[in-house]
Structure 1
Amino acid sequence: MSAPTPIPTPDAPLPRPTGPVTLQQVAERAGVSSATASRALHGSSGTRIVGEELRRRVLDAARELRYVSNAPAQALARSTTSVVGVVVHDVADPYFAAIAAGAMGVAREHGLLVMLAATFRDPELELDYLARLRAQRARAVVLAGSGFADREFTRRLAAEVDAYRADGGHVVAVGEHGIASDTVRPANRSGAALAVRHLHDLGHRDFGIVSGPRALTTVRDRLDGARRQLRSLGVPLPPAQVIDGGFTREQARVAARTLLTRAPDLTAIVVLNDVMAAGVLAALRDDLGLRVPDQVSVVGFDDLPFAADLNPPLTTVRLPLADIGARAMDMILTGPTIEPRTLDLDTELILRNSTMPPR
């Protein structure tokens, strides 16, 4: 026959529960209802306020039992957390690092925690991250990576965004994603047109373009802006003189060598981001023995911090990258609206030493 369970007396400490401590156990230890214990520990958006004496009893009981608040449960009770997801393609890419830094600066000022996720340009990962953030009741998500020019993916992304919004979340996109969401839209088309006009005004007529993966809407928009501007100026652009540089330095270096093999007489290259432009400059200078800008002029895109330190310093189209992230976070702070909003951010051309009139 087992010994009877001892009955605690007021002078004897209550036994500590085994296993995870629940809110109900804290409430019983403090001698209050579970609702009062919840308000004392987690606050409340309602009008009922817990008195100081009761709050102290609950806090003492929680400390004694080593109670740990269940954050997901509290998020469910409050509908959202203070977490904002920022989804990028590559955290090592300075383009995305600058956007994320702008978003984080605003988030810090308002007590929000930014969770950064990288998709490595895998659209399935983007859908997965969005679904996970919705399950965790994240307050909002900034889709900072480029959209994908794929109808089926866009349909699935739109459905996930709609579900996120139906659960009370807020989605802000950077650039064109083909979804009904607030959008911060960089001037990719007009920026590329600006690069072409600059080179044309200098007297260049033989152009090449080092592009990126055509599946990305950012690449599509920049390439479209450059092509439209060339057509309006009456300058031909043979398909062989548009080559994919993979949005990486090394792939762009190979692409530049291929481009000059196909078109040895071209005098101007528009490169659709600065990371690739660094590879193009290395190929021209070190692999092909060509002088920039004496023999070939080069214009980049984004104005990343290292662009001014390249050899030669790079003429490039500047996007306000940190401001893009900050404005996206501002949209989150003001909350969603019935009709999605679009904020257009302009570009400017930064003149350095990688361009000059053709000789």
Structure 2
Amino acid sequence: MDTPTADAAPTRPLAMSDVAARAGVSHQTVSRVINRHPNVAVATRARVLAAIKELGYRPNGAARALATGSTRTIGLATANISQYGPAQTMVGLEHAAREAGYFLTVSVLDDTSARTLTEAIDRLATQSLDAIIALGTHDEAVRALRKVHTAVPLVAVLAGAEGHDPAVWVDQEAGAALATRHLLDLGHRTVHHVAGPDGFVEAAARARSWRAELEAAGAPPPSVLRGDWGPASGHAAGRELVARRRGGEPMTAVFVANDQMAFGLLNAFHEAGLRVPDDVSVVGFDNVPEAPYSIPPLTTVRQDFAELGRRGVQLVLGLLGGEQARPLPVAPQLLVRATTAPPARGRGRGEG
């Protein structure tokens, strides 16, 4: 076997020019393909991508950043990723960023305070990022976003229409209106509500819309029960509603602010001998993967988190391109399953 001599030149790393030579195109064309520029012929793009694969070429991110002024990286500051909504929103953002040829670097907050969110954004701003996305649902954090200034575009997600501008969000009030109207249209005289915890944008919006729909229909709004988004708090609310019903308060329909609490509520009703939907109809919110498999399958409001992520990244890209976009909120969808039905005659007061 021949042994390399001391005078042998070291093997140089692959360069963009090697890809250009293999594909028979210019250096600039290879750069356009790597940066996903739209003005490249389909056949040319395929030839360049094939050359990249054959050679095993990996673009030098640092060199590309120096040449283009872009790192193709978006920072995300988020909390509550243990909850379904924020977690799925983060997944949607990451997928949309990847599809657009961007990386997503994530800073997970220890809590939802304004100080923690502001500090996380400040840390992200010191890195070489093209833009920052703040995923905030707590009132205090959303208010703080209005006062944050960064050298790169800052977009808020899930913060609602009254939060930082620019922002993308699911229309929470429209979703709560769908749930409440569905129950009223079935013939229920009123709808009880198990709300999310104080201080959360979504909880306030859903409760506000629930009340507005009842008042518009001339239905008396019952006193609100409040949970913490978890099934145990939904179970406790269910037991309280059972006690109210046995005490003589009419109760035939419940709108619960998320599916996890609705699962706890269904369990409490089952323990008390209340049949769903024969005795009580229940609507949740989120459409978590377990919702179609509860007993009975849960009627709920679906939030399209993949679309929310796509719109969030689209807004970032538009801002980077100098656009002043005003995105519309993502529309929710009511999914009617087996936990809702018209009220049974004579039911709702004291039975169960």
TM-score band w.r.t. shorter chain: 0.7 to 0.9
Task: Name the CA shift for 1:172/1:121 in 2 (closer, same or farther; >3 Å).
Answer: closer
Asked whether 1:352 is paired with 2:337, we answer yes
- 1-side partners of 2:266 and 2:296: how far apart? 8
- 1-side partners of 2:66 and 2:343: how far apart? 64
Instruction: Name the counterpart of 2:12.
Output: none
Instruction: Name the counterpart of 1:259.
Output: 241
Asked whether 1:249 is paired with 2:231, we answer yes
Asked whether 1:158 is paired with 2:140, we answer no
Q: Deviation string for 1:221-242 (max 9, x for gaps)? A: 1111111000001111132xx1
Asked whether 1:195 is paired with 2:149, we answer no
Q: What is the CA distance between 1:243 and its match in structure 2? A: 1.1
Instruction: Name the counterpart of 1:49.
Output: none
1:136 alignment partner AA: Q
- 1-side partners of 2:209 and 2:113: how far apart? 25
1:243 alignment partner AA: L
- 1:330 pairs with one of 301, 314, 329: 314
- 1-side partners of 2:65 and 2:226: how far apart? 44
Q: Deviation string for 1:307-359 (max 9, x for gaps)? A: 11111100011121111111111211222557462322112211100011111
- 2-side partners of 1:122 and 1:211: how far apart? 21
Instruction: Name the counterpart of 1:145.
Output: 136
TM-score, normalisation: structure 2: 0.72
Task: Tell which structure's C-alpha radius of gyration is larger.
Answer: 1
Q: Deviation string for 1:73-122 (max 9, x for gaps)? A: x9799866433233333222222222222211121123322223443433
Aligned residues: 284
Q: Deviation string for 1:200-245 (max 9, x for gaps)? A: 1111114211101121111111111111000001111132xx1111
Task: Name the CA shift for 1:157/1:76 in 2 (closer, same or farther; >3 Å).
Answer: farther
Counterparts of 1:117-266 in structure 2, within 5 Å, are: 117-119=107-109, 120-148=111-139, 150=140, 156-160=144-148, 163-164=149-150, 167-176=151-160, 178-239=162-223, 242-264=224-246, 265-266=250-251
In the alignment, is the contact (CA less than 8 A) between 1:185 and 1:342 conserved in 2?
Answer: no
Asked whether 1:88 is paired with 2:78, we answer yes
Task: Name the CA shift for 1:345/1:70 in 2 (closer, same or farther; >3 Å).
Answer: closer
Task: Name the CA shift for 1:290/1:350 in 2 (closer, same or farther; >3 Å).
Answer: same
Task: Name the CA shift for 1:282/1:77 in 2 (closer, same or farther; >3 Å).
Answer: farther
Instruction: Name the counterpart of 2:254.
Output: 269
In the alignment, is the contact (CA less than 8 A) between 2:134 and 2:156 conserved in 1?
Answer: yes
- 2-side partners of 1:103 and 1:224: how far apart? 28
Instruction: Name the counterpart of 2:91.
Output: 101
3-state SS of the aligned residue for 2:270? helix
3-state SS of the aligned residue for 2:285? strand
Task: Name the CA shift for 1:97/1:258 in 2 (closer, same or farther; >3 Å).
Answer: same
- 2-side partners of 1:244 and 1:209: how far apart? 8
Q: Deviation string for 1:258-306 (max 9, x for gaps)? A: 23323443111101111211111122113x2321111111001121221
3-state SS of the aligned residue for 2:147? helix
TM-score, normalisation: structure 1: 0.71
Task: Name the CA shift for 1:128/1:267 in 2 (closer, same or farther; >3 Å).
Answer: same
Instruction: Name the counterpart of 1:48.
Output: none
Instruction: Name the counterpart of 2:103.
Output: 113
Task: Name the CA shift for 1:203/1:279 in 2 (closer, same or farther; >3 Å).
Answer: same
Task: Name the CA shift for 1:171/1:234 in 2 (closer, same or farther; >3 Å).
Answer: same
3-state SS of the aligned residue for 2:89? helix
3-state SS of the aligned residue for 2:132? strand
Q: Deviation string for 1:112-138 (max 9, x for gaps)? A: 222234434334322221111112243
Structure 2 portions without partners, runs of 5+: 1-5, 8-59, 345-352
- Of 97-106 and 323-332, deviating more is 97-106
In the alignment, is the contact (CA less than 8 A) between 1:183 and 1:343 conserved in 2?
Answer: no
1:326 alignment partner AA: R
Cα RMSD after superposing both structures: 2.9
Instruction: Name the counterpart of 1:283.
Output: 268
